[in-house]
């Protein structure tokens, strides 16, 4: 017997898993039961169901942002991390640096919408005394995010001094 199951890549795996989730959310039961109409002419087309491997195939690192809170966010995070190798959840220092740079570019392009001091507000709530702090954490013991803040502010400071 020939195996007609096709291999799926990691991106295709997540795409098809998301499509299946959307179908269930918008009423997969209704869609499936709507096929049961006795007077309706039956379609002769075929449908090839996607193959969902137990784990996503290995490959280059895929990044995902965590959206949600409480059990939904935590559950989504656990599902994503358990879906295969080389899967990175949430933000990365590179994405954070890109965000800071894009904020500065936005202020340059929209001076009428910025404060005179050209402030970018960074807020990190780590439950340290119920306040907001930017601090090294177990997940970032090298303080990558703080080093990026220093790097960007130093570059910006030099840039503005050279303009004067």
Strand, helix or coil for residue 63: strand
Q: Which domain holds residue 144?
A: 93-163
Strand partners, 64: 89
Q: Are residues 107 and 46 in the same domain?
A: no
Question: For the whole prediction, is pTM greater than 0.75?
Answer: no
Task: Among 89, 115, 130, identify where a domain stops.
Answer: 89
Question: Which residues lie closer than 8 Å to 23 by C-beta, 6 or more apart?
Answer: 31
Give residue-wise pLDDT tens across range 67-91. Answer: 445 565 667 777 877 888 877 666 6
72 with 98, same domain: the answer is: no
Rounded mean pLDDT of 96-111? 88
Structural domain count, the chain: 2
Stretch 2-25: mean pLDDT: 61
127-152, pLDDT tens digit by residue? 565 556 677 777 778 888 889 999 99
Q: Which of 72-76, 123-127, 159-163: highest mean pLDDT?
A: 159-163
Percent of the chain whose pLDDT exceeds 90: 7
């Amino acid at each position: 017997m020939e195996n007609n199951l096709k291999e799926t890549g990691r991106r295709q795996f997540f795409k098809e898993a998301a499509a299946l989730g959307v179908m269930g959310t918008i009423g997969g039961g209704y869609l499936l039961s709507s096929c049961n109409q006795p007077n309706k002419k039956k379609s002769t087309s075929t449908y090839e169901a996607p193959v969902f491997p137990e784990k996503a195939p290995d490959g280059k690192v895929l990044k995902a942002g965590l959206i949600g809170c409480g059990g939904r966010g935590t559950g989504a995070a656990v599902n994503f991390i358990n879906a295969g190798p080389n899967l990175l959840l949430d933000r990365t220092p590179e994405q954070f640096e890109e965000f800071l740079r894009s904020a500065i570019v936005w202020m340059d392009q929209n001076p009428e919408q910025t404060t005179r001091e050209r402030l970018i507000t960074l807020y990190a709530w780590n439950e340290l005394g119920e306040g907001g702090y930017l601090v090294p954490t177990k997940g970032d013991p090298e303080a990558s995010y703080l080093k990026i803040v220093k790097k960007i502010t130093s570059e910006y400071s030099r840039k503005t001094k050279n303009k004067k």
